[in-house]
Chain A
Amino acid sequence: MEWANQLCENRQFGSKMTDSKYFTTTKKGEIFELKAELNSDKKEKKKEAVKKVIASMTVGKDVSALFPDVVNCMQTDNLELKKLVYLYLMNYAKSQPDMAIMAVNTFVKDCEDANPLIRALAVRTMGCIRVDKITEYLCEPLRKCLKDEDPYVRKTAAVCVAKLHDINAQLVEDQGFLDTLKDLISDSNPMVVANAVAALSEIAESHPNSNLLDLNPQSINKLLTALNECTEWGQIFILDCLANYTPRDDRESQSICERVTPRLSHANSAVVLSAVKVLMKFMEMLPKDLDYYSTLLKKLAPPLVTLLSAEPELQYVALRNINLIVQKRPEILKHEMKVFFVKYNDPIYVKLEKLDIMIRLASQANIAQVLAELKEYATEVDVDFVRKAVRAIGRCAIKVEQSAERCVSTLLDLIQTKVNYVVQEAIVVIKDIFRKYPNKYESVIATLCENLDSLDEPEARAAMIWIVGEYAERIDNADELLESFLEGFHDESTQVQLQLLTAIVKLFLKKPTETQELVQQVLSLATQDSDNPDLRDRGYIYWRLLSTDPVAAKEVVLAEKPLISEETDLIEPTLLEELICHIGTLASVYHKPPSAFVEGSRGVMHKRLPARTGSGESTESPDVGTAAGGSAPEAAPSIIPSQGDLLGDLLNLDMAPPTTSGPPPPTTGMQMGGMDLLGGGLDSLLGGDIGGSPAMGAGFGAAPAVMPASLNAPVGGGLGDLFDLGGVGMPMGAYIPPKIVWLPAMKAKGLEISGTFARRAGVIQMELILTNKAMSVMTDFAIQFNRNSFGLAPAGPLQVLTPLGPNQTIEVSLPLSTVGPVMKMDPLNNLQVAVKNNIDVFYFSCQYPISMLFVEDGKMERQVFLATWKDIPNDNESQFQIKDCHLNSDAASSKLQGSNIFTIAKRTVEGQDMLYMSIKLSNGIWVLAELRVQAGNSNYTMTTIRRSGSSQKMLTFFTCAACTLTSLCCCMDLMLSQYNT
């Protein structure tokens, strides 16, 4: 009352009296002042002070120092003040756990207050104080509150059980709170029931196997009764809980559906979506010939349509879910195409989703309308939307055969607009249309060719090149067109390069006489001048193919391609089923299972739709998939197979749209033969005029026709173990050089970088220490490597997530891959690095120990070793002395094994131990070595022999093999001496 009075007085004086005054800027010594005020005798002053404290807390100031003073105000007869102190406690108790105990007494007392509002407030707040010591004291008051006479207290206590469980699950179980909570499902008050259901569901989520929710027909009946009486939110909790139940048979399923259907008329969109979830799930069990089944289908459409009148964010959730629903049961919305037409003022995220659904619903019956709309959208201004609209036209053509011609002419109209991104998008989809309807619409090629110059996006360029190659025989100047692309070959993206290579080979096979020069040009560009292994591989394969058997080449390259499927972007059926069980949730919006984005949910069972059962039959095997019920076969669409295998590559499908997963064309043999192609001479067809290139000559000349590495390299264990020698100790860890400073701070505006390399569990790591010696904070770190001899490249971004303050140091480990671009460096193991931060970009170079590149499966089988040792010509051999090494041979062998240098055999001749060792480099090069250790002599002799690997990647390295050996031995030298000391 005092407070109210003061309010009036102030108003009388005309001053504006609001809480905002508490936010006035702070002076020095504020905390001190507040402390004094909090301890004031005057109640009013106290309350004012607490308000100021809360205001400071709100703007993010740390007022935790006032903890004891604020807690002292807790015992008050002023409700508003009490609430504020409670709020303060929730925020700071965790940082002051010992002092939080001070509050316990008041809490316990408040839980027995005569006013239910206070009792509930106390139990609600106590649950929010996540301090272990407090939870013990919470148990007794909570037990009382769960049985309170007032439903307001009971409903609050029900939620408190879930809170407590989150802090201390064991305690909740020991105290029997879970049983009390289960009893509350039968409470007479609907809100208590709803909160109990919510709390139990929450707890059950973290204990998937606890059978907590133990749903049975009796408890389901209780829930369905409460459903009619509780608030909109309670209805959602109950519906979401119902969705986890699996009815015993179709009759129970139908009766639940009948009682849930009225919820479709609820004004709250979330209630509607949760009801849709239950219905979509339980429908699965209903026989399709049942009248009720079709009634239900009809009832689902109108509420789904009405959701599109909700607020835009809810529309978005609804549309993402409708996308799932039309995939699962297209019949529900098949007549509702028009409601998905885009309105001018729809937010862009709504527009894009509507477009997606329009394509899914497109059919012969409505295609004319759809096309007219899509054409309209394609002339809008939002680029993303326009592109998607153009793509949608292409998808319509593929989906509805009767409309293909209209779609093509619509696309041609759009190309005439000359709007750059429209043209490019149109060309990409026309390529797909050609794939679907070969030899039908080629008349448009001339129009397409007119736009060749305006294409600047890789996907469009690649599509155009594909078209030219595919129809080379009908395009008079195909060679000129393709040649024009060839000029800037190295500036093109990989996608375009691959496409160009294939297109020119196609052209050559179709018009061999005029295009020999062109094909030679592209083959040499692809194989000699490119660092891209995919491009080189494909180049060599074509080269070899053309040279050995042009007829076979024709059969492979010009083989008939599998048709592309009608439906694209369909969600894989088991995932779709899981997502249907999550309607309304984030999972249904992301179209990802919860396990993909919720931490700690990986062990949680994936939800599934129930199996269909016959009438009255019990579900003895709930795991029988829906396939048995008959719904899956018709719903199971052909899913796009993953591509990128060698065969796909050869057939030039890598950029093509989805193919049906039909049987592969009859050219499978190619895959095995692929390796062989690299063997002998390939000049027979093209004549000797290409032999001049040194890399080529070396590559094919030097490579003996050996078996592919994968056939003879043992993968550790198994047979290989038999050759392990006694006396070899456990392998030690790999050699890691000490960290050295790579980039001094004075050269990098205060950033100092030191580091080393390590190989851990088969992964090469660059281990860095970043030190900020400048005065300002450094952020936004990123790293890049220059091309290097072994294709080392960062396998991920540099993980410096927090800003690096002055004088701070951070250790980062950067995993490296060996699939980056390759360039020979001098010295061979030199690595040039660029590090960027918010200040500048800095460059340095460092050298990695070659042993980082020794891979774990470098142990050669003994017999292979022996055979290879003999076969390799002496020219490939080199010898080194390793000085001052005091290890015996066994110890040396064991240490070397730690760095993936494997001892294959050991011989002792005249007191001299000879170790035979194998090493495999990350690029497939094998190195064999013999290490002679003379007892009593600290000098070792090492003979190493290089043996070819069979990967094409190593071609680059034949020219620099000698360097490899030198640095290898330097490195081993270093290693051994390191171990010595």
Chain B
Amino acid sequence: PQLTAEPSQQGEGHMLHVLISRNYMGNMDMNEVDHFMPIMMRMEEDADSSPLVTHGSAHFLWIKHRNLYLVAMTKKNANAALVYSFLYKMVEVFKEYFKELEEESIRDNFVTVYELMDEVMDFGFPQTTDSKILQEYITQQGHKLDVGAPRPPATVTNAVSWRSEGIKYRKNEVFMDVIESVNLLVSATGSVLRSEIVGSIKLKVVLSGMPELRLGLNDKVLFEITGREKSKTVELEDVKFHQCVRLSRFENDRTISFIPPDGESELMSYRLNTTVKPLIWIESVIEKFSHSRVEIKVKARSQFKSRSTANNVAIMVPVPSDADSPKFKTSTGSCKYLPEKSVVQWNIKSFPGGKEYMMRAHFGLPSVESTELEGRRPITVNFEIPYFTVSGIQVRYLKIIEKSGYEALPWVRYITQSGDYQLRTN
């Protein structure tokens, strides 16, 4: 692929300008990007959008981060999936380096940004994009060559390109978070259209040396292979692993073995389509009396075992954008009207399993109806339930072997939270 990374910026007065750019292949005119900005502004006006725009023979692939556009330009039949994941990777790297990716942080660090752009891609081929490794040899300090100048860490080109050798800790520990997000889509008539669990296992690794880790889960397929079908298992529909996990090993015997990256990382993610009872069920009646008022009744029911509790539950109920004078009544928790989002937010700090709560809201409507059509926005719900996985997944063991033979303790936490949790309204 022939790429030009081109973070450009949207500033005041909706004028875009190029903040910093790098031409990776010589055969593209950098002024081509001038065509990109008018196209973007036109699309914005037409409330149109497409992540891929064309001008003449130039193709622009862009993503937006806050008010920055990261744009890749190419004239070839580039691998579009690669380009987008590379752009997102760039955002990640910049964020690791500068905390926030914004116009100011780019300006304040333009020398480092140039250095990074030089290192992460060569002639349109992405190279090393692991920010932990990059930080070992691209630093914000000045260097003299004869003394402290960095050398490329062997890690960059090693098969284990995500962990450097020689890491030392006094106390060796691994913290694991098993986080499950529930995505739910319920029709206006109350039938579940889609219910999906997206799980993620995150690691915080505080281990010396080059440890070998093996993770055991109650994976249904594994239990079938090993003939332990009676135990409670989970059928993982699709699993994605951090590049440290040996994929062919997993494919062969479902063993999850890896040398972990140092510090925080996402080891794996998985998806289950098993239909579970929606953890928090919402019934709502939203009655709109044109020119006078809107009346909202919401009933929330927790459908998990009473020994668990959902925390920080927030139920967002849409109201017309021209509604005014809110009045609320709740059986528990508190309500807030957020006019900028046109929603009522009902907060319940603690929501034990098997309970049911009610909320009523009343809004006035102006006598002159706004001409603007409003979409029927769904009710969305946020929550988190600690010490609980909705899928029933369990970490059975995490074996840690390092040649120095130290003892290390794994810590595991479970939490279930709302993902894309939407209930359509009438």
Q: Is A879 part of the contact surface with B, judged by Cβ < 8 Å?
A: no
CB of B118 within 8 A of CB of A83, answer yes
Residue numbers in A under 8 Å from B237 (CB-CB): 302, 305
Q: A117 contacts B107, CB within 8 Å?
A: no
- Contact A269 B243, beta carbon cutoff 8 Å: no
Count, chain B residues at interface, CB 8 A: 99
> Is A191 an interface position by the 8 A CB rule?
yes
Contact A79 to B193, CB < 8 A, known contacts A54-B110, A270-B82: no
Q: Would you give the shortest CB distance from A184 to chain B, in whole angstroms?
A: 12
- Closest beta carbon of chain A to B185's beta carbon, Å: 6
CA distance A929 to B86 in the complex (A): 71
By a CB distance below 8 angstroms, the chain A residues around B122 are 124, 156, 159, 195
Chain B neighbourhood of A572, CB < 8 A: none
Interface centre among A118, A259, A317 (most CB of B within 10 A): A317
Chain A positions within 8 Å of B143 at CB level: 78-80
Across the interface, do B420 and A127 meet the contact criterion of CB distance under 8 Å? no
Give the distance to chain A from B198, nearest Cβ to Cβ, in Å: 6
Please measure, in the bound complex, the distance between the C-alpha atom of A120 and the C-alpha atom of B128, giving whole angstroms. Answer: 14
For the complex, what is the distance from the CA of A199 to the CA of B152, rounded to whole Å?
21
What is the total of A-B residue contacts with beta carbons within 8 Å? 277
Which residues from chain B contact A259 at a C-beta distance below 8 Å?
248
Cβ–Cβ contact B240 & A376, under 8 A: no
Q: Does chain B have a CB within 8 A of A344?
A: yes
Instruction: Please tell me if the beta carbons of A83 and B75 are within 8 angstroms of each other in the complex.
Output: no
> Which chain B residues numbered 231 to 248 have a C-beta less than 8 Å away from chain A?
237-243, 246-248
Contact B52 A586 (CB under 8 A): yes
Interface members, chain B 95-147 (any A CB < 8 Å): 104, 107-111, 114-115, 118, 122-130, 137, 141-147
Interface stretch (choices A169-177, A594-602, A660-668, A940-948): A594-602
Please encode chain A, from 257 to 281, with 1 for each CB lying within 8 Å of some chain B CB and 0 for all others.
0010111011111100110000000
Q: Within 8 Å CB of A128, what residues of B? A: 26, 123
Whether A347 is near chain B, meaning CB under 8 Å from some CB there, is yes
Q: Are B25 and A166 in contact (CB under 8 A)?
A: yes
A599 to B32, CA, bound (A): 15
Contact B240 A306 (CB under 8 A): yes
How far, in whole Å, are A500 and B133 apart by their CA atoms in the complex?
71
Contact B373 A381 (CB under 8 A): yes
Q: How far is the CA of A237 from the CA of B87 in the complex (A)?
A: 17
| Contact yes or no, B149 A115, CB < 8 A | yes
- Is the CB–CB distance between A311 and B375 below 8 Å? no
| A115 touching B238, Cβ below 8 Å | no
Contact A83 B115 (CB under 8 A): yes
* A266 B110 Cβ-Cβ under 8 A: no
B residues less than 8 Å from A587 (CB atoms): 77
Knowing A198-B125, A343-B420, the reply to whether A586 touches B110 (Cβ < 8 A) is: no
**Interchain CA distance A349-B63 in the complex, whole Å:** 14
A262–B26 touching, CB < 8 Å: no
- Report if B161 contacts A (CB, 8 A): yes
The residue on A at minimum CB distance from B192 is A338
Q: Is A480 an interface residue (CB 8 A)?
A: no
Interchain CA distance A118-B250 in the complex, whole Å: 39
Q: How far is the CB of A939 from chain B (nearest CB, A)?
A: 56
Question: By the criterion of a CB under 8 Å from any partner CB, how many residues of chain A are at the interface?
Answer: 117
User: Which of B20, B145, B157, B198 is close to A77, meaning CB atoms less than 8 Å apart?
Assistant: B145
> A979 contacts the other chain (Cβ, under 8 Å)?
no
Contact A267 B242 (CB under 8 A): yes
Q: A409 on the interface (CB 8 Å rule)?
A: no
A273 touches B114 (CB 8 A): no
Q: Does A403 contact B (CB under 8 A)?
A: no
Which residues of B are found within 8 Å of A115, using beta-carbon distances? 145, 149, 151
Please tell me if the beta carbons of A229 and B159 are within 8 angstroms of each other in the complex. Answer: yes
Q: What are 22 of the A-B contact pairs (CB < 8 Å)?
A: A18-B107, A84-B114, A117-B151, A151-B157, A159-B122, A162-B123, A230-B161, A233-B126, A261-B251, A262-B247, A265-B241, A265-B251, A267-B268, A267-B269, A314-B81, A314-B88, A318-B81, A345-B420, A586-B77, A598-B75, A599-B57, A601-B77
Question: Could you list 4 further interchain pairs (A-B, Cβ under 8 angstroms) beyond the known A87-B118, A163-B25, A269-B85?
Answer: A20-B107, A159-B125, A270-B84, A312-B51
Interface residues of B (CB under 8 A from A): 18-20, 23, 25-27, 48-52, 54, 57, 59, 61, 63, 74-82, 84-88, 104, 107-111, 114-115, 118, 122-130, 137, 141-152, 156-159, 161, 185, 187-188, 193-194, 196, 198, 237-243, 246-248, 250-251, 266, 268-269, 271, 373-378, 420, 422, 424
**Hey, which bits of chain A sit against chain B, CB under 8 A?**
1-4, 7, 18-20, 22-23, 47, 51, 54-55, 58, 60, 77-80, 82-84, 87, 90, 94, 113, 115-118, 120, 124, 127-128, 130, 150-152, 155-156, 159, 162-163, 166-167, 189-192, 195, 198-199, 202, 205, 228-233, 236-237, 240, 259, 261-263, 265-270, 273-274, 302-303, 305-306, 309, 311-314, 316-318, 338-339, 341, 343-345, 347-349, 369, 372-373, 376, 379-382, 582, 584-589, 594, 597-599, 601
